[in-house]
Copies of this chain bind each other. A is one copy, B any other.
C-alpha cells in the first residue's frame, strides 16, 4: 500500500490563506488551492474538507490571531496606554496604505465578500470586531485612570468609535488612499479625544 503523503499542516494552511487573501473566495478554485499547496484534491479534502471548510478554517485562525496580536501590542502599564493605542492605530494606517497591503486584511475582505451569505463568517467577524473593540476599551480605561483622558470620558463609547475609525482606514486604504491621509485620520481622532482638565507633566 502506498504511504499517504505527509505534509506540514501549518505550511499548507498558510498557502491556503494567502490564496484566498490574494484572490478572494469565489475567485479561488480547488485547482488554485492544489497548486498553491502542492497537494492533490484527495489530500486536501481528506485533511481539511471542501473549499468552504478550508476557508472557514483559515478565516477563523486569522480572526483569533488578529485579536490576540492586538491585545499583546496594547498590553502594558496605565502610563503610556493612550500612546500605545495611538501608535497601534497609526501602524494600521501605514499598513493600510502600503501598496503591498492593497489586498486589505483578510477579515475585511472575507467579511465584504461572504458575510451576507455565510452566517459563520458574519458571526466570526462580529466576534472579532468586538474583541478588537474590547482591547481598545481596556486601553482607554487605563488611559483615563492615568489621567491621560478626561475623568468623565466614556472608554466604552470611545473604544467603539476607534473601531469604526480603524475599519474605515482599512476600507479606504484598499482604494489606494495615501499614507499621510490615513495617518492624519488617526491623529485627528486622538486630538479630539476628551482631554483631562489639567494635563499631567
Which of A's residues lie within 8 Å of B, judged by CB?
Answer: 22, 24-27, 102-104, 108-109, 111-113, 115-116, 122-123, 125-126, 128-129, 154, 157-158, 160-161, 163-172, 174-177, 181-182, 184-185, 187-189, 192-194
Contacts and interface: CB of A to CB of B under 8 A. Distances in A.
16 contacts: A103-B116, A112-B112, A122-B175, A125-B176, A126-B177, A129-B172, A129-B177, A160-B184, A160-B185, A161-B165, A161-B188, A164-B164, A164-B172, A165-B168, A167-B172, A168-B169
Highest count of chain B CB atoms <10 Å: which of A104, A122, A172, A194: A172
Number of copies: 2
A125 B108 CA distance: 16
A169 B174 contact: no
A191 to B, nearest CB: 8
A168 B115 CA distance: 15
